[in-house]
Amino acid sequence: MARQGVGRLSHSVCLVLTCLSLALHLILALFCLSVLQTSCVIPPPSSCSSSLSFPGTVPHGKQGRSHSLSSQSSSHKLPEKDKKLIQTKMATKVSQRISSRSKLEALFSHPLYNLPRKHLLEDDWLLKLKPKNKGGDSEEEDEEEDSDKSSEDSEWQSDSEEDGYDRANWTRSADTHPAWLRYHLGISRWELYDRNDPSVAEVTQQMATQRILSAVQKSGGTQLKLIMSFPNYGQALLKPMRQERDAETDFNLFYFSDFERHNAEIAAFHLDRVLGFCRIPPVVGRLINITTEIRAITTDHKLSRTFFTSPVGNLCFHGQCEYYCSTENPVCGRPQVLEVSLASMLPDLSLAPRRSWRSPWRRSYSRTKLAPWEKNPDYCDTVKQTPPYNQGTRLVDLIDMVILDFLMSNMDRHHYETFEKFGNDTFLLHLDNGRAFGRHSVDEPSILVPLRQCCRIRRSTLMRLRLLSLPGFRLSDVMRESLSQDPLESVAPLLSVQHLSVLDRRLKTILQAVHTCLEHHDDVIHDDLQGYDNSQLFGVVSL
């Protein structure tokens, strides 16, 4: 009997414990269910993105948390496959926005883009201010000015002030100079502009927004170009939109038969800057009204006679030039609005003469003949023995230009220019890039022939190219971000996705060509970074 009582008691205790356990599990399940059903108010992706500091880096941890919260709020009560798909897409989208907005700043913060500048002597500046008069009572204006001066605080005024030009009060102080004049005074033996010079940004902003006072056709050249004047006495070279941005060059056309592209000029400026060259004058896009900003203000009678209205009511003109200036090849607005590129003018030739050099790898510009370099694989051996390529940096300067041209598929580099003042010891101007970015479906290997024949490249150029091949600094990404700063980007992307993606493909081709040179030649690298620690400059990749 005692054993039966103890057994019954133990069974009762076990039953009570089992009930308590079930009750606790039930309470816990109800609590968890209530938590899962509680709504979470999550900001939309745009709000989350706008709260980040762009451009810049995202604090580690915050990025992952925003990704997971956004994914949970959007994928609640969805099948598991759909949840994973949405999470992946949103994580990819947010990470792309973060990386694309920060890569350009990260690139320009890299040591390779912040090397100490060479010490500049007085003769290393293209322009300089004239010294004071011997009497000391008056100041001479700078070389850009050609007017009378009477006292130290006197104003320089133009006879055209009543025509809408700004009242000028230019002294020796840089604070009194317009942005374009400060940009001109900053040109040196080694670079067209300093990337960190605020005057360059001011020049592009003013070209995109200032009132246009005058429009005349630029003489010479094969296609239509206009010179536009602004109230602060600055000028810009205008190239109009001639075809859609995504239109590829007809494969049946020769390289010298294509239209110039306004967006190519803009993209070339940005690419030149991203590569660290800084040898293309500032270029910006703009929408202009053909009636009020060209036709109504031009004093060019030859230009004014070429305006007409198309059959669909668009205002058109064609000007006068060697090619493509006819009613069959007009420039037309929609109906009056026209996309254009505006490139800041270089100092006047009377102040800063330039020398034009025929490129050794100039094409024949013939439908039947080949150029010498196309027939002789050892052509560079002759070039290396010919001044100015037999000494100094002229050959690697030209290779820099070849790399730029190959990336943007520019086959029209028959000449290049330098400032006469600096002789042969200076950089090359990368001017006239309107025939670039014509084809994205194929690359043009002949553009890269100088690199393959000569097997010479600057160390700094090669290191920057390798940097731009890394995922964190991908060339197509930094170019996309850089181009987003242009006003015309709000109308449509300046370069199509295809044109951006081929930059990465072409960059690989360049690096492969250099790798082949290094395998077969010893004297490939021109070391312009002597004295620098390679690991500090580049980090994980070394030469």
> Which pLDDT tens digits describe the chain residue by residue (543 residues)?
444 554 555 666 667 677 777 777 677 666 555 444 433 333 333 333 333 233 333 333 333 333 333 333 333 344 444 444 444 544 454 445 444 447 999 999 999 999 988 889 999 999 988 776 544 444 444 444 443 433 344 445 555 555 788 887 888 888 889 999 999 999 999 999 999 999 999 999 999 999 999 999 998 777 899 999 999 999 999 999 998 888 887 666 665 667 899 999 999 999 999 999 999 999 999 999 999 999 999 999 999 999 999 999 999 999 988 888 889 989 999 999 999 999 999 999 999 999 999 999 998 877 778 999 999 999 999 999 999 999 999 999 999 999 999 999 998 898 999 999 999 999 999 999 999 998 898 999 999 999 999 999 999 999 999 999 999 999 999 999 999 999 999 999 999 999 999 999 999 999 999 999 999 999 999 999 987 766 666 554 555
What's the pLDDT score for residue 458?
97
What's the pLDDT score for residue 295?
97
Query: Residue 255: which H helix or E strand, with range?
Result: none
Query: Rounded CA gap, 165 and 211, in Å?
Result: 10
User: Any binding-site annotation on 141?
Assistant: no
Query: Rounded CA gap, 504 and 440, in Å?
Result: 12
pTM comes to: 0.78
What's the pLDDT score for residue 521?
94
User: Any binding-site annotation on 223?
Assistant: yes
Supply the DSSP symbol for 389: T
Those residues whose C-beta lies under 8 Å from the C-beta of residue 447, and which sit 6 or more positions away, are 402, 405, 406, 409, 410, 411
Query: Rounded CA gap, 173 and 155, in Å?
Result: 13
Query: Rounded CA gap, 239 and 326, in Å?
Result: 16
Query: Rounded CA gap, 252 and 254, in Å?
Result: 7
Rounded alpha-carbon distances, angstroms, from residue 356 to 211, 415, 427, 428: 33, 7, 13, 10
Strand partners, 382: none
Q: Count H helices, E strands: the chain?
A: 17, 12
User: Any binding-site annotation on 93?
Assistant: no
Alpha-helical regions (H) of 370-470: 372-375, 379-383, 394-408, 449-454, 459-468
Q: What is the Cα gyration radius of the chain?
A: 32
Rounded alpha-carbon distances, angstroms, from residue 439 to 250, 292, 442, 446, 479: 9, 34, 6, 14, 17
User: Any binding-site annotation on 417?
Assistant: yes
Strand partners, 416: 357
CB atoms under 10 Å from CB of 457, counted, come to: 24
Strand partners, 339: 287
Residue from 405, 412, 477, 486 carrying the catalytic annotation: 412
What's the pLDDT score for residue 174?
85
User: Any binding-site annotation on 239?
Assistant: yes
Cβ-contact 304, 201 below 8 angstroms: no
Those residues whose C-beta lies under 8 Å from the C-beta of residue 193, and which sit 6 or more positions away, are 183, 186, 187, 199, 200, 278, 282
User: Any binding-site annotation on 344?
Assistant: yes
CA 537 to chain centre: 23
For residue 14 the two structure tokens come to 């076990």
412 is an active site residue = yes
User: Any binding-site annotation on 494?
Assistant: no
